[in-house]
Each structure stands twice: as structure tokens, then as C-alpha cells.
Amino acid sequence: MERRKFIQSMFSASAVAVVATPMGAFAKEEKKASKKGPNDMSFDDAVKAITDGKEVKDSDKVKLSVPEIAENGAVVPVKVNVDHPMEEKNYVKAIHVLNTANGNARCADIMLTSANAEGYFATRIKLSKTQEVVALVELSDGSFIKSAKSVKVTIGGCG
Amino acid sequence: MAEKRKSMIKIKPKKYKVGDIVKVDFIVIHPMDTGMKKDKKTGEIKPAHYIDSIKFSFDGKPFTTMKVWESVSTNPYFSVKYKVTGKGKITVDYTDNQGEKNSKSKKLKPKG
């Protein structure tokens, strides 16, 4: 009697376990999906949203300085210098700092005016893994130029 | 509701004249949560909390505006250049995605 009960309980327990494992796996998957950030955007979408389909040229005028190897992905210094006059009608309109592999490709959009006198911007950004940082510059005549550099990230900084 | 945040504006170099181009550095203590990190104590995912817009102005006239997303580091630092036109006040207004509004200002005193 005792033995039969014991075996029965064993069976029911294993049945529960069998049912529970796929449920657990499912729950895990759901969690992974919810790891998406609130305003994720791919790099191509971000570029399209900024340029509206216009051509973007690579240019030496944009000087992007980032470290080649970033030990800590949570703090990556980025500096953008645009070699372009800042006159009243001919100036750097905006600098967009983008990345290629984070959940949200946009880091910061900076709208400059002629009062800035120099197309310069510096900040620190987070990078999740080894990827490229892109500085996309909009000039006041509506044309776009860019510069990209890859950064090796040892420890990702996006949580 | 509006929490008082520590922030700082630095003008570099320290001595400048009218017509000089100075660097305006703005640093603020802010968590810049991405909405993906877990709270170590409670195990719950922290909601996204980041600065989303910044406005630099001189005597009420904005000269640089920024849109920022969560990819910017914790305790962010932003630096732009500005051509000094005379005495006045540089003000930085910033808001975050939870509706917190703050501002910080610093006087510009060009010499000579």
C-alpha cells in the first residue's frame, strides 16, 4: 500500500514537471522579448528618418574621434568636429550621433546655429557590443555628410 | 515631484574676451536608465528614465537644442562651442522622459 502510493505520487510529480518545463521555457522567451527597449529603432530606419532618403556622402570634413578599444561599453567618449564655416547662411545645421548595433540606434541629435561658431560636439555614450559609431552631419543647404568609426567593446554597457 | 538634480556648467578656458570661442560643458547627475536593467535589490526591471531634450540659451535666445536618447551614458556630459558676444547668462534647460524639468545657468563675464 505504502509503496503503491509512493510510486503514484512519483508519477504525478513527474507529470507536473513535464508540463512545467515547457511553460518555464516559454516564460523565459517572453522575458527575452520584453528586454527590448521602449523606443528601439534600427540603424537603417534611423538614417532614413533623418535624411528622408537623401544621399549621404562620406567626407573628410567630419572628424569623429572615438577610442579604438573601449574597455567599458558604458562610457565611450565621442567627439565630433566638423570642418565647415559657421556663417549666417552657410552653417552646420545638425549633428546626429548614431550607433549600428544598440537596440536604439539614435544617441543624440544636436541642432546647431551660427552662434556656435564651430561645428563641435562631445559627449559620452553607451555601446552594447563591438560596433560602429556614426556621425551624420546635416549642412544648412540640405546635404548630408558622414563619418564612421568602429569601436571594439570589451564589456558591453547596455544592461 | 521635480527632484532637484545636481548639474554644472563649465566654461573653458576660464579667461576669455568678447569674440573668443569658448567651450560650454554641461554635466548633470542623472541615472539615464535604459529600461532594460534590473534593480539589484528588488530584482525588478527599472523603467526607462533618461533626459530627452536639452536647450542651451544665451539671455533667453536658444543657440543649441538637443534631442537625446537612452544610449547616452549615466551622468551625461555634453559639450558645444559658443562665440562670446558680450556679458550675459548661459542657461541650460533640460527635461527627461518622466516629465522632470530643470534648468541651470551661469554668467558669462568676458574680460577686455
Q: Is residue B2 part of a domain?
A: no
Low-confidence ranges of chain B (pLDDT < 50): 1
Say what the pLDDT of residue A13 is: 61
Instruction: Name which of A36-50, A81-95, B4-18 the model is least confident about.
Output: A36-50
Q: Is residue B1 part of a domain?
A: no
Name the phi and psi angles at B25, rounded to 5: -100, 135
Residue A69: pLDDT band with limits 50, 70, 90: very high
The structural domain count of chain B equals: 1
Contacts of A37 in chain B (CB under 8 A): 34-36, 48, 70
Say what the pLDDT of residue A17 is: 54
Substitution target from B52, B71, B94 for chain A, most A beta carbons within 10 A: B71
Max Cα separation, chain A?
A: 96
Domain that holds residue B70: 7-35+47-108
Substitution target from A65, A97, A113 for chain B, most B beta carbons within 10 A: A113
Domain positions in chain A: 1-35, 43-155
CATH number of A43-155: 2.60.40.2470
End-to-end CA distance of chain B: 43
Q: What is the DSSP letter of A103?
A: S
Instruction: Tell me which residue in A38, A109, A124 faces B73 most closely, judged by beta carbons.
Output: A124
Is A39 in the B-facing interface, judged by CB distances under 8 Å?
A: yes
Residue B78, domain CATH: 2.60.40.10
**Which chain B residue shows the shortest CA-CA distance from A93?**
B64
Contacts of B21 in chain A (CB under 8 A): 117-118
Contacts of A157 in chain B (CB under 8 A): 73
Residue B23, C-beta contacts closer than 8 angstroms, at least 6 positions apart: A120, B10, B11, B12, B79, B80, B81, B82
**Does A122 have pLDDT greater than 70?**
yes
Helix (H, G, I), strand (E, B) or coil at A159: coil
What is the pTM assigned to this prediction?
0.81
Q: Is residue B59 part of a domain?
A: yes
The ipTM is 0.87
**What is chain A's mean pLDDT, rounded?**
83
